[in-house]
Structure 1
Amino acid sequence: MTVVLFIVGLVQCGLLFLLTGTGAKLARQAQKEREEARYVPHGGWPRVAMIIPAAGNDPRMEAALKSLLEQDYPHLLPVLVTAGADDPAADIIRRLKEDYPALRHVIAGEAKDCGQKNWNSLAGVAAVGDAADIYMFCDSTHMADPEFARCLVGPLARNEAAFSTGYHEVEPRDHGIVTLGYALSVLLMRLLQGLSAFTQPWGGAMAMTRAAFERYGVARLWASTVVDDCSLGAMLQARGVHVKLCAAALLRTTAHRHAFGTWRAWMDRQVLFLKFCMPGQWLLLGVFAALMLAPVLWAGFTFCRDLIGRGGGTGPFLALLWLLLLAGTLSSWRRLVPVRVPLGRWLGAFFLASGLFGWVYLRTIPARTITWRHMVYLVGRGGALLGMRRRG
Structure 2
Amino acid sequence: MTMPPVLTLLLWGVTALSLLIWLVLLLFWGQFWRMDQRLQGGDLRTWPRVVAVVPARNEAAVIGASVRSLLEQDYPGTLHLIVVDDQSEDGTGEIARQTALELGKGDRLTVIEGTPLPRGWSGKLWALSQGIAAACAFHPDYLLLTDADIAHDPQNLRQLVAHARQQQCALVSLMVKLRCQSVWEKLLIPAFVFFFAKLYPFRWVNDPKRSTAAAAGGCILIDPGALAKIGGIACIRDALIDDCSLAAAVKRAGYRLWLGLTPTTVSLRAYNSLNSIWQMVARTAYTQLSYSPLLLVGTVIGMTLVYLWPPLALAVGLSGGLLPLAALAGLVWGLMAIAYAPTVRFYGLNGAWALTLPVIAFLYTLMTLDSARRHWQGRGGAWKGRIYPRKS
TM over 0.5: yes
> Which residue type is aligned with residue 44 of structure 2?
V
Equivalent of 1:63 in 62, 65, 70: 65
- 2:342 & 2:44 partners in 1: Cα distance? 36
Equivalent of 1:203 in 204, 207, 217: 217
Could you tell me whether the CA contact under 8 Å between 2:66 and 2:151 is conserved in 1? yes
Equivalent of 1:321 in 306, 312, 331: 331
> 2:382 aligns to what SS in structure 1?
strand
Q: Which residues in structure 2 correspond to 1:16-35 (within 5 Å)? A: 17-18=26-27, 21-22=31-32, 24=34, 26-27=36-37, 29-30=38-39, 33-34=40-41
> 2:387 aligns to what SS in structure 1?
strand
- 1:223 & 1:7 partners in 2: Cα distance? 44
Q: Give 1:105 deviation, angstroms.
A: 0.6
Unaligned runs of 5+ in 1: 382-392
- 1:146 & 1:287 partners in 2: Cα distance? 44
User: Are 2:114 and 1:111 aligned?
Assistant: no
- 1:248 & 1:286 partners in 2: Cα distance? 34
**Judging changes above 3 Å, is the alpha-carbon distance between structure 1 residues 251 and 291 closer, same or farther for their aligned structure 2 residues?**
farther
Equivalent of 1:233 in 247, 251, 259: 247
Q: Give 1:207 deviation, angstroms.
A: 1.9
> Which residue type is aligned with residue 81 of structure 2?
P
Per-residue CA deviation, residues 202-221 of structure 1 (Å, 9 max, x unaligned), is 22111222222222211432
Q: Where does residue 309 of structure 2 map in the other structure?
A: 298
Equivalent of 2:130 in 118, 123, 146: 123
User: Are 2:193 and 1:186 aligned?
Assistant: yes
Q: Where does residue 52 of structure 1 map in the other structure?
A: 54
Could you tell me whether the CA contact under 8 Å between 1:172 and 1:255 is conserved in 2? no
Per-residue CA deviation, residues 117-146 of structure 1 (Å, 9 max, x unaligned), is 111111111212141222110011122211
Q: Give 1:226 deviation, angstroms.
A: 4.5
Q: Where does residue 143 of structure 2 map in the other structure?
A: 135
> Which residue type is aligned with residue 377 of structure 1?
Y
Could you tell me whether the CA contact under 8 Å between 1:119 and 1:222 is conserved in 2? no
Q: Give 1:76 deviation, angstroms.
A: 0.4
Could you tell me whether the CA contact under 8 Å between 2:83 and 2:110 is conserved in 1? yes
User: Are 2:232 and 1:218 aligned?
Assistant: yes
Equivalent of 1:79 in 63, 82, 87: 82
Q: Give the stretch that moved more between structures: 313-322 or 288-297.
A: 288-297
Aligned residues: 364
- 1:195 & 1:140 partners in 2: Cα distance? 28
- 1:298 & 1:246 partners in 2: Cα distance? 31
Q: Which residues in structure 2 correspond to 1:159-174 (within 5 Å)? A: 160-174=168-182
- 1:151 & 1:61 partners in 2: Cα distance? 23
User: Are 2:153 and 1:145 aligned?
Assistant: yes
Equivalent of 1:2 in 5, 8, 11: 11
Q: Where does residue 357 of structure 1 map in the other structure?
A: 364
> 1:135 aligns to what SS in structure 2?
strand
Q: TM-score, normalised by structure 2?
A: 0.79
- Structure (1/2) with the larger strand percentage: 1
Q: Percent identity?
A: 19
- 2:308 & 2:391 partners in 1: Cα distance? 34
Could you tell me whether the CA contact under 8 Å between 1:276 and 1:380 is conserved in 2? no
**Judging changes above 3 Å, is the alpha-carbon distance between structure 1 residues 245 and 225 closer, same or farther for their aligned structure 2 residues?**
closer
Per-residue CA deviation, residues 169-221 of structure 1 (Å, 9 max, x unaligned), is 224224x2553321221244246441325442322111222222222211432
**Judging changes above 3 Å, is the alpha-carbon distance between structure 1 residues 223 and 57 closer, same or farther for their aligned structure 2 residues?**
closer
Equivalent of 1:258 in 272, 275, 290: 272
> 2:145 aligns to what SS in structure 1?
strand
Could you tell me whether the CA contact under 8 Å between 2:50 and 2:80 is conserved in 1? yes
Q: Where does residue 389 of structure 1 map in the other structure?
A: none
Could you tell me whether the CA contact under 8 Å between 1:118 and 1:226 is conserved in 2? no
Could you tell me whether the CA contact under 8 Å between 2:55 and 2:127 is conserved in 1? yes
- 2:57 & 2:226 partners in 1: Cα distance? 27
Q: Where does residue 371 of structure 1 map in the other structure?
A: 382
